A and B are shown apart, each in its own frame.
Chain A
Amino acid sequence: MADTNEVLEKVTECLVEALGVEEDEVETKASLTADLGAESIDFLDIVFRLEKTFDIKIPRGELFPESLLSSPEFVKDGKMTEQGLEELRKRLPYADLSEFESDPNVAEIGNLFTVEMIVKYVEGKLAAKA
C-alpha cells in the first residue's frame, strides 16, 4: 500500500493542477478554500483528478458533502447545531473537527476541507481497496 508521503505527493499534484497553485502552498494544514482559493466548481475537478490518479471511485457527496447547510435542523442562526455536528462527524470521519466544534460557525466550514483531510480520505479508500 502507498505510504502517506506518496499519497500526499500525488494529492499535491492534483491540487496544483486543479487550483493553479504553487506546490509549496499545498501544506498539509492548508484549507482548500481559505488558503488555496478553491471554489465549489473546483471540488468536482479535484474529485475527477483523485479518481484518476489513485484509481478509486468517489461517490457523490462522500468527500465533499452536499446539502448539509441547507437543512434547518443542522444549521441555526449561522451555527451548526449539535445534530448538525453529529451528522458532520458521520459524513466527514477523516476531518479534524476539534477546532470547528468549539465555534461551529457555518462560514468556517470550508476550513474543514484541508489537504490533510483529502490525504486521509484517499488513504482510507486505498486501504479498503487493498
Chain B
Amino acid sequence: MRWIFVDRLLEIKKGKYAKAIKNISMGEDHLHDHFPLFPVMPNTLIIEALAQTGGILAGLSHDFKNMVILAKIEKATFHDMATPGDQLILEAEIVEDREEGCRITGRANLNGKRLADVSILFVNLDTSEMNSSVDSYVFTRQFLALLGVDKVLAEIPESK
C-alpha cells in the first residue's frame, strides 16, 4: 500500500490555499480492519490527507526546494464519519508563514458538510544542508505529476 491520501489536486494558490479530493474505497486494506463489517476512514488518516494537502501547499511556498515536515498537530476535531464511496473535499489554508515553517488550517468536507477541522504546524528542512541522498518523495516530480499539481499550476496562472 502507498501512503497517499490525496487523489487529485483541484486548486492551489501559492502561499494561500489548496483544495484536493480523496475518494474512499473498499480497495484500501485498512478499511477491512477499521472496522470489520463497519468500514470507516480512520480519523488519523483524515489528518494525514489534510496534512498532505497542506504539505503540498507549504512546499509550493518555497518552490518545493525544502523538505516539509509535519511537526505538530495542534488541533483535530471530527464531526462525522467517512465511509467507502464517499468523496472528501480537502481544503488547506496557510495562516502563518515564515522561512522556517508554516501553520495551516485544514478542513475536510463531505457532501457540503464539515467533517473535520485541523490545525497543523510544518517545519521546513533545507535539503541542501543535509548530507543525505534521501529525497523527499512527496515533492518528486513523479508524485506531483501523479496528483496533477503541475497541471493545476499550469492551468491557473495566479497559482504561481
Contact = CB atoms under 8 A, between A and B. Distances in A.
Interface string B51-71: 000000000000000000001
B96 to A, nearest CB: 5
B98 A60 contact: yes
A45 interface: yes
B96 A45 contact: no
A60 B100 contact: yes
Contacts of B99: 60
A52 interface: yes
A130 interface: no
Nearest to B121: A45
Nearest to B100: A44
A60 to B, nearest CB: 5
Contact of A41 (B98, B103, B121): B121
A41 B123 contact: yes
Given A41-B121, A41-B123, A60-B98, A48 B103 contact: yes
Contacts of A47: 98, 100
B71 A41 contact: yes
A61 B71 CA distance: 18
A39 B90 CA distance: 30
Interface string A46-71: 01100110000000100000000000
A31 B90 CA distance: 39
A41 B102 CA distance: 11
A41 B72 contact: yes
B132 to A, nearest CB: 16
B8 to A, nearest CB: 30
Interface of A: 41, 44-45, 47-48, 51-52, 60
Interface of B: 71-72, 96, 98-101, 103, 121, 123
Nearest 3 CB-CB pairs, A to B? A41-B71, A44-B101, A48-B96
5 contacts: A41-B121, A41-B123, A44-B71, A44-B121, A60-B100
